[in-house]
Amino acid sequence: MDLLPFLLTQSLNALSQAALLFFLGVGLTLIFGIMRIVNFAHGTFYMLGAFVGYSAVRFTGSFWVGLVLGPLVAGGIGVAFETGLLRRLYKRDESAFLMVTFGLTLVLGEVIRLVWGVEALQVPTPETFAGIVFLFDEPFPVYRLFLAAAGVVVAIAIWQFLERTRLGLLIRATSQNAEMVHALGVDVKLVRSAIFGIGCGLAALGGVLAAPLVTASLGMAANAIIDAFVIVIIGGMGSFLGSLLAAVLVAFVQVFGAYYFPDFALAAMYLLMLLVLVIRPGGLLGKEA
Amino acid sequence: MPHCAGLSRRRLVQSAVAASALGLPVPFRTATASDPIKIGMPVGLTGPIGGVGAQMRRACEFWAKQVNDKGGLLGRPVELVIEDTAGNPATTVRKVQEMVERDGIRVITAIVASNEALATVPKLVEWDTIFVSGDNGDGRLTGESLSPNFFRPNVSGPMGTRAVALWLRDSPLKTFYGLGMDYAWGHNSMEVFEAEAKRAGKTFLGAVFSPTGTKDFSTYITRIRQSGAQGVYLVLSGDDNAAFLSQARQYRLGDKVQLLTELVDQMTINATGDASIGMIGSSRYPFTYDIPANKAFVAAWQETYGRPPDLFEGDQYQSCVVMQAGIEKAGSLEAAKLRAALEGLEVDSIKGRVTMRACDHQGAQQGFIVKVVKHEGMAHPMPEVIATYPADRVTPPCNKMVYDD
């Protein structure tokens, strides 16, 4: 393969992976930005998305139903969890959140096992994007192009939502000074519930989209949560743009790292994280140093 | 203890009966005709190996029901004592110890993972208990780690690789590349394959190893394509295997390169659908194997579960049948008698004839090479036997993991 087509196909691969990493990381970082809590259950919501996607395809025959239903189910559970449990703990120190979100991981993981069973489940590539295109005579899956495009669309949508809408304004304000926002007569509790639900929904969206690549399986959650943490740490805790930048960086390092240095494929992502932490301890766009 | 002094004999007998009804240990109890034959199953039902464990449990339950419907074993009903080990070797050893001491169990089967089996076998003699493996593949179990009380009626890992190697010799493919998981099993199997490919006069162009838990295989798929090989040998399992096959299908990798693998199992086929079509590999039990004994088994299984039996279900079932034949021949569950009965035992099973070799307790049996095909009207693709190799070519020399030719 010549250099140009190689660079093009691998870059597109990296962008498709960046989209999945972004969906995972952005939810976690938004939740952290507003609530100052690390949501351990984030990977499990990602996994839940994949399984809901499976059932949607199974019972309605449509991948797109799953793409809507997955985030809704996860977002709904997220909101219920926040209002039912997390809300009682905001006065406690951070370890309480670690325990309770870790507990949610175990419970939700077990529920998924009971509902969907232990075997990995196939989510077929949606018919519309199941084909291949030829880039310089190299076959490339259309679904990966779709993933990359979906990443761009969702990133722009979140950015516009944060910049243009009233809820977006409140979210940004709450992340800077929650007490002041509260003093101005805004129900901060509602903002927190909303952002927790949105974060979990975004993770599930990533899960539904990843399912045709990796199948829906019980191993997804543990894998995903580590990736999500790495994205958030590299990008800077609470930074939307940071998570976008980090997702793209990590994806490129993973794809090209695995190609040129396959023996260090696993280490590449962590080396990048180490490098960023040494140069900027607060992450690329993080506020705290 | 003074308050025990007034205990009457009648009272003692009553409490003993009550205790046995509750399944509590009762000293000095001897087996009678109506006592069940208890088979211990320290099987991993949760955790990453839970899928395989569920298959093995199902196979044992199916077998036990068949036996009990026909009046039991040695005229006694078979009872399965099932404990979840979660795939943890330390838990397995503890659970078996409990089975032996608490339930008086003399025969165990259905340990899922080889590291669990390897942790258990050194204590079998001390426990005076026979372990009939249902799926454990590690070559060492009938080699350097062989316990006199261990028997393996199932196909071992080296036997699977061997079948692939034998198929390789007849295959028109000339150049090969490898993709394996980056840990002991991946490297080990790849080395064996490389040696076998070279012995068959083929060109091995190199291999790449992906870390366990890899989600994006695009880079590895690119490498396989760039190698220009006609065939790629895959040593992947579980989620990694499913992810690779799904993505290879999206890249149309199979159009240019023949996918080969050590073990073709229905779980992966079901998880990846059409992505597994065309793949060639060994099978420990292909349910499509066309002999009367197997057809009867598949029909009965289909009636119970509404689907054909998977690989570990067939392999475990065969182990149960061998265990049953051994117990019938020995007329007893005592380890010494059962060991003598199993050594050299020949059983005609669902996979054909199995001979339990006296020298290393490995079940000598034929090897299968299958290709994944899809038939019209079937929900899932299925493995179809494309080659079988006789027992004497597939089974390694006694106590060995490598072959002489």
pLDDT tens digit string along B244-301?
999 999 999 988 899 999 888 887 888 888 888 999 999 999 998 999 999 999 999 9
**Which residue of chain A comes nearest to B49, CA vs CA?**
A118
Whether residue A133 is contained in a domain is answered as: no
* DSSP state letters, A221-281: HHHHHHHHHHHHHHH-TT-HHHHHHHHHHHHHHHHHHHHH-GGGHHHHHHHHHHHHHHH-T
CA atoms within 13 A on the CB side of B176: 28
Are residues B277 and B169 part of one domain? Answer: yes
pLDDT digits (tens, 9 = 90+) for A66-108: 999 999 999 999 999 999 998 888 888 778 888 899 999 999 9
Provide, rounded to the nearest whole percent, the portion of chain B with pLDDT above 90: 62
Kindly list the residues from chain B whose CB atom is less than 8 angstroms away from the CB atom of residue A118: 50-51, 54
Mean pLDDT of chain B: 88
Residues B270 and B164 grouped into a single domain:
yes
Domain-embedded: residue B90: yes
- CB-CB under 8 Å, A13 with B216: yes
B63-102 per-position pLDDT tens digit: 999 999 999 999 999 999 999 998 899 999 999 999 999 9
B170: tokens are 């007849």
User: Is residue B252 assigned to a domain?
Assistant: yes
In a domain, A185, yes or no: yes
Q: Do A122 and B272 touch (CB under 8 A)?
A: yes
B26 lies in some domain? no
Residue A286 located in a structural domain: no
pLDDT of residue A22: 95
Closest Cα in chain A to B237? A120
Report yes or no: A43 and A223 within 8 Å, Cβ to Cβ.
Answer: yes
What CATH number corresponds to the domain at position B77?
3.40.50.2300
A150 pLDDT above the threshold of 70: yes
pLDDT at res. B12:
47
> Is residue A213 assigned to a domain?
yes
- If asked whether residues B277 and B245 sit together in one domain, one would say yes
pLDDT of residue B19: 46
| Same domain for B102 and B82 | yes
Lowest mean pLDDT of A43-52, A133-142, B201-210, B279-288, name the range: A133-142
Shared-domain flag, residues B162 and B265: yes
- Is the pLDDT reported for residue A119 higher than 90? no
Instruction: Identify the pLDDT of residue A122.
Output: 87
Contact (CB, 8 A) for B176 and B230: yes
- The yes-or-no verdict on residue A52 having pLDDT over 50 is yes
In a domain, B399, yes or no: no
Position B127 confidence tier, pLDDT thresholds 50, 70, 90: very high
B223 touches chain A (CB under 8 A): yes
| B316 and B215 co-located in one domain | no
DSSP assigned state of A216: B
- On whether the CB atoms of residues B367 and B389 are closer than 8 A, the answer is yes
B268 and B203 share a domain? yes
Contacts of B247 in chain A (CB under 8 A): 141, 213
Cα angle B282, B283, B287; round to 5: 145
Q: Nearest by CB to B50, which of A118, A143, A223?
A: A118
| pLDDT at B328 (0 to 100) | 95
B182 touches chain A (CB under 8 A): yes
Interchain contact B270–A (C-beta under 8 A): yes
How high is the pLDDT of residue A42?
Answer: 94
Give residue A267's pLDDT: 86
Taking CB atoms and an 8 Å cutoff, what residues of chain B touch A144? 218, 250
Q: Tell whether A264 lies on the interface with B, counting CB pairs under 8 A.
A: no
Residues B175 and B273 in one domain: yes
Mean residue pLDDT across chain A:
90
Q: In what order do the strands lie in the sheet with B346-349?
A: B346-349, B352-356, B363-364
Between CA B194 and CA B205, with CA B200 as vertex, the angle to 5 degrees is 40
A143 pLDDT band, cuts 50/70/90, is very high
The lowest-confidence range among A21-30, A35-44, A244-253, B186-195 is B186-195
Neighbours of B197 (CB within 10 A): 24
A66 domain-assigned: yes
- Sign (positive or negative) of CA dihedral A270, A7, B230, B281: positive
CB B402 within 8 A of CB B164: no
Choice between B318 and A121, residue whose per-residue pLDDT is larger: B318
Residue A132: which of B51, B213, B252 has the nearest Cβ?
A: B252
Q: Are residues B334 and B257 in the same domain?
A: no
Domain count, chain B: 2
Tell me whether residue A152 is in a domain: no
pLDDT at residue B231 greater than cutoff 70: yes
User: Tell me: the pLDDT tens digits for A155-200?
Assistant: 999 999 999 999 899 988 888 888 888 898 888 888 889 999 999 9
Can you give the pLDDT at residue B131? 97
- Look at residue B405 and tell me if it is in a domain: no
Question: Domain tally for chain A?
Answer: 1
Contact B218, B247 (CB under 8 A): yes
- The distance of A186 to chain B (nearest Cα, Å) reads 42
Residue A223 CA, distance from chain mean position: 12
- What is the number of other CB atoms lying within 10 angstroms of the CB of residue A103? 13
- Which ipTM value was assigned to this complex? 0.86
Nearest CA in chain A to B220: A259
- Full residue range of the structural domain in which residue A234 is found: 20-125+167-279
Q: Do B361 and B142 touch, CB atoms closer than 8 A?
A: yes
- Which pLDDT value is given to residue B33? 60
Q: Which of A144, A217, A266 sits opposite B242 (nearest CB)?
A: A217
B24 is a domain residue: no
pLDDT at B32: 60
- Separation between Cα atoms, residue A160 and residue A156, nearest integer Å: 6
- Do A10 and B222 make contact, defined as CB atoms within 8 angstroms? yes
What does the longest C-alpha to C-alpha distance in chain A come to?
62
Whether residue A140 and residue B251 make contact (CB cut-off 8 A), yes or no, is yes
Query: What is the pairing mode between strands B367-373 and B382-389?
Result: antiparallel
Residue B10's pLDDT is: 53
Residue A270 lies in a domain: yes
Q: Are residues B357 and B278 in the same domain?
A: no
Chain A contact present for B54, CB below 8 A: yes
pLDDT of residue B115: 87
Instruction: Give pLDDT tens digits for B2-21.
Output: 444 444 545 544 544 444 44
CA dist B222 and B189 (Å) reads 22
Domain assignment present for B142: yes
User: In this predicted model, which residue has the larger pLDDT, B233 or B189?
Assistant: B233
Same domain, B80 and B122: yes
Residue A268 has pLDDT above 70, yes or no: yes
Tell me which residue range forms the domain holding B246.
158-283+368-394
The candidate with the shortest Cα–Cα distance to A222, out of B242, B269, B239, is B239
Considering the domain architecture, whether residues B182 and B278 belong to the same structural domain is answered as yes
Q: What is the pLDDT of residue B7?
A: 44
